[in-house]
Structure 1
Amino acid sequence: MAHIIPFKAVRPTRDKVSLVAARSYQSYTLEQRESRLRDNPFSFLHIVNPGYKFDKQISGEARYNLVRNRYLEFKEDAIFVQDQQPCYYIYQIKDRDQQVFNGIVAATSAEDYENDVIKKHEDTIEFREVIFKDYLKTVGFNAEPVLLTYPDNAVIAEIIKEVQKARSEYEFTTTYRDTHLLWKVDDADQIKKISQEFQQMETVYIADGHHRSSSSYLLYKDLKETNPTHTGQEPYNFFMSYLIPESDLRIHEFNRVITDLNGLTKEEFLIHLDMMYRIENRGQVPYHPNKKHHFSMYLDGDFYSIYLRKASYPIENSLDGLDAQILFKTILGPILGIQDLRNESRIGYINGKKDIVSMKSAIDNGNYRVGFGMVPVSIEEMKTIADDGFKMPPKSTFIEPKLRCGVTIYEF
């Protein structure tokens, strides 16, 4: 039974939301960040990059405290206001490819995460969990929801449709030409029906935000252990999520790039690879695989297609059949010496929504030596792996939609 509840969001005023809303900090280039910080005093980037005010790079606990200060200043200046009663928030994204995503922003239970009601399909990188947990503990808010998905539900879909007949609280279009709309659900009957429908669901699945949800869970454990009057109703028992039906989810792959060949020459590497794969040099023509267990590879200016020799690799469970796991078990680990994907610095990731040439560019510029591409994971494959209790390797999926930071904020 999923315990999903409304909450009192801190939100930008209607006239400021388009100026406040921002992508995740890491998604901007240095030049893009500088432009937005220089030209837009309302951008949420001013909160997460508080050192800009002092023309200085600040990190660690000092940065976290300044983030907290910038956030409080936005509240004091009435850029942010808080709703007076708990609400659900219907959030719609219409992207530039004409895809439409409809979901509900809500508070989801850390206990559900602990008890596997909220199911995980992907492993996380440990140091990122701890860093973000410490960050949350200091700043006291979360401004970027975890993306969860649930089985398509006719009752929830009808409520969303009904709510969207009214004027939206927000409507703004980004420079990426994505249009974002938000409606507040404060009707008691509608809130009750939404909560009841979620309570009847045995499981919901994390689609995107494994590190954010894991960090929120670690924070919950920390605060629970240090609170002698813990009741289970404190705000830290929950974290903010955006829940969308499975039919709205869009899944892309993450391509892998590796810094070196683990001491091997190109010829030695290809000989090792031949033991498990059929290899074809495609030359300068970019190659992208179109079926499971087929991979693309880019090495020394050439693209290759590499096909798994299935007789050499037994598939005994759902995780064994995952392409990211096959790549790890047959190439990254035994040949390239990458054993701990959670903490390995020799591997990088490029989301598959970008052209395969992006992988080529990352290698041609000298930062990496070899790259691998694969086909995306299906929603059925993702759910089966989660249901079977397995975890995918980190960065196995790049999932849409992507929300903006600072549109709804959850305080704890």
Structure 2
Amino acid sequence: MAKIIPFKAVRPTRDKVSLVASRSYQTYTQAEREARLDYNPFSFLHIVNPGYKYDREISGIERYKLVKNRYLEFKEDNIFVQDQTNCFYVYKIVNREGQVFNGIVAAASAEDYENNVIRKHEDTIVHREHVFKDYLKTVGFNAEPVLLTYPDNSTIQNLISNIQQQRAEFEFTTTYRDTHYLWMIDNQDTINIIQEEFKNMPTVYIADGHHRSASSYLLYKDLKENSTNHNGSETYNYFMSYLIPESELQIHEFNRVVKDLNGLTKEEFLIQLDAIYRIENRGIMPYKPSKKHHFSMYLDGEFYSLYLRKSLYDFKTSLDALDTQILYKTILQPILGIDDLRNDSRITYINGKKDIVNLKSCIDNGEFAVGFGMIPVDIEDMKQIADDGLKMPPKSTFIEPKIRSGVTIYEF
């Protein structure tokens, strides 16, 4: 039984939402951030980067307190206004490629996270979990929802379609050329129907936002343990989520590039690969794999196809069958000497939305020695790994949609 509840979102006013909404802070280059901070006084980046006002870097608890101050200033200036009633929010994104995402912004249950009703497929870094938990505890709000996915449901889909016949509360297009729409659901009967449909779902899955959900869970535990009047209805029992049907989730691969061949010559490297892969030289024309357990490789100006010799590889678990795990276990770790996929500076990840030529350029300019391409992870494989309680290697999936920060805000 998945539990979601409506909440009173803090939102930008209709006339300023396009100016407030921002991508995640880390996705901007320094030049992009500075341009927005210099010329857009309403950007949400002013809240999450409060040190810009004082022309210096600020970190830790001092930064968290200033983030809260900037946020309160946005509320005092009526840039942000809180809804008077609890609502679900239908959120639609049409991206620059014409892909459409329709979902519901709601508060998901921290207890569901604890009880594995909300399932995970990625490992998290404990330090990052606690840092963001402390951040949330200080600032008192969350402005970027966790992306959850659920099995397609005709009742929910019909409700969303009907609501979208009305005028949207928000409609704005970003400089990234994505168009965003938001509708409010404040009708209690409709809210009840949506909640009942989710109660009939035994599980939902985290698609993107594992650290945010883990940190929200830690905050829930912290505040619950230190409350003398805990009753389960407090806002900290939930965290903001964007729930979309599985059929609309877009999963892209992350390709890998490695800086050197771990002391091997090109010929020695190819010979070691031959022990577990059938190798074909594809020449200078870009090559991408089309099947599971097949990889493309770019090395010394040429593309290769790598076909796993399955008789020599042991498929014991759902994780063993995952291409990113196969690449790690057969090449990256034993041949190239990369044990720590998260922290080894010799490996870099390129999201699969970028053309394979981007991978080629990284090798040709001499920054990296070899690159590997693969196909995206299948949604069923992702779910099976989560169901089995296993965790994918880092950067196994690049998932869309990417919702903007500051459009709906959840206060604790």
For residues 148 and 346 of structure 1, do their structure 2 counterparts lie closer, same or farther at Cα, with a shift above 3 Å needed?
same
Residue 111 of structure 2 corresponds to 111
1:253-304 superposed Cα distances (whole Å, 9 cap, x missing partner): 1112233333434333333222211223334322211111111223344332
Q: Is the 8 A contact 1:170 1:182 kept in 2?
A: yes
Q: Secondary structure at the match of 1:81?
A: strand
Task: Give 1:367 shift.
Answer: 4.4
Amino acid at match of 1:166: Q
The 2-side partners of 1:376 and 1:198 are apart by 28
The 2-side partners of 1:165 and 1:257 are apart by 46
Confirm or deny that 1:188 pairs with 2:188: yes
Confirm or deny that 1:76 pairs with 2:97: no
Q: Secondary structure at the match of 2:273?
A: helix
Confirm or deny that 1:273 pairs with 2:263: no
Q: Secondary structure at the match of 1:247?
A: helix
Residue 137 of structure 2 corresponds to 137
Between stretches 105-114 and 283-292, larger displacement belongs to 283-292
Q: Secondary structure at the match of 2:382?
A: helix
Confirm or deny that 1:410 pairs with 2:393: no
Confirm or deny that 1:50 pairs with 2:53: no
Q: Secondary structure at the match of 2:35?
A: helix
The 2-side partners of 1:257 and 1:211 are apart by 25
The 2-side partners of 1:153 and 1:182 are apart by 20
Between stretches 25-34 and 333-342, larger displacement belongs to 333-342
Residue 33 of structure 2 corresponds to 33
Amino acid at match of 2:51: G
1:156-188 superposed Cα distances (whole Å, 9 cap, x missing partner): 112112211221110001112211100010111
Residue 306 of structure 1 corresponds to 306
1:236-260 superposed Cα distances (whole Å, 9 cap, x missing partner): 2211100011111111111122333
Q: Is the 8 A contact 1:125 1:341 kept in 2?
A: no
Amino acid at match of 2:348: G
Amino acid at match of 1:186: D
Which residues in structure 2 correspond to 1:177-256 (within 5 Å)?
A: 177-256=177-256
1:178-204 superposed Cα distances (whole Å, 9 cap, x missing partner): 111000101111111111111111001
Q: Is the 8 A contact 1:102 1:244 kept in 2?
A: yes
Task: Give 1:72 shift.
Answer: 1.2
Q: Is the 8 A contact 1:64 1:139 kept in 2?
A: yes
Residue 9 of structure 1 corresponds to 9
TM-score norm. by structure 1 comes to 0.95
Confirm or deny that 1:167 pairs with 2:179: no
Q: Secondary structure at the match of 2:296?
A: strand
Between stretches 283-292 and 200-209, larger displacement belongs to 283-292
Confirm or deny that 1:18 pairs with 2:18: yes
Amino acid at match of 2:274: D
Amino acid at match of 2:19: L
Confirm or deny that 1:358 pairs with 2:362: no
The 2-side partners of 1:124 and 1:335 are apart by 26
The 1-side partners of 2:248 and 2:263 are apart by 44
Q: Is the 8 A contact 1:143 1:407 kept in 2?
A: yes
Residue 288 of structure 1 corresponds to 288
1:296-353 superposed Cα distances (whole Å, 9 cap, x missing partner): 2233443322221111102122211110110111112222233333444443221101
For residues 215 and 262 of structure 1, do their structure 2 counterparts lie closer, same or farther at Cα, with a shift above 3 Å needed?
farther
TM-score norm. by structure 2 comes to 0.95
- In structure 1, runs of 5+ residues without a counterpart are none
Number of positions where the alignment pairs a residue of Structure 1 with one of Structure 2: 412
The 2-side partners of 1:46 and 1:284 are apart by 46
Q: Is the 8 A contact 1:125 1:394 kept in 2?
A: no
Q: Secondary structure at the match of 2:212?
A: helix
Residue 297 of structure 2 corresponds to 297
Residue 401 of structure 2 corresponds to 401
Between stretches 69-78 and 341-350, larger displacement belongs to 341-350
Amino acid at match of 2:386: A
Q: Secondary structure at the match of 1:298?
A: strand
- In structure 2, runs of 5+ residues without a counterpart are none
The 1-side partners of 2:378 and 2:385 are apart by 11
For residues 59 and 261 of structure 1, do their structure 2 counterparts lie closer, same or farther at Cα, with a shift above 3 Å needed?
farther
Q: Secondary structure at the match of 1:15?
A: coil
Task: Give 1:365 shift.
Answer: 4.5
Identity of aligned residues (%): 74
Confirm or deny that 1:390 pairs with 2:390: yes
For residues 135 and 364 of structure 1, do their structure 2 counterparts lie closer, same or farther at Cα, with a shift above 3 Å needed?
farther
The 2-side partners of 1:264 and 1:399 are apart by 35
The 1-side partners of 2:274 and 2:205 are apart by 37
For residues 44 and 193 of structure 1, do their structure 2 counterparts lie closer, same or farther at Cα, with a shift above 3 Å needed?
same
Q: Is the 8 A contact 1:127 1:343 kept in 2?
A: no
The 1-side partners of 2:335 and 2:126 are apart by 24
Task: Give 1:370 shift.
Answer: 2.7
Between stretches 337-346 and 66-75, larger displacement belongs to 337-346
Residue 176 of structure 1 corresponds to 176
1:47-91 superposed Cα distances (whole Å, 9 cap, x missing partner): 111121112222222222221211111111110011112110000
Q: Is the 8 A contact 1:123 1:342 kept in 2?
A: no
For residues 339 and 156 of structure 1, do their structure 2 counterparts lie closer, same or farther at Cα, with a shift above 3 Å needed?
same
The 2-side partners of 1:173 and 1:44 are apart by 16
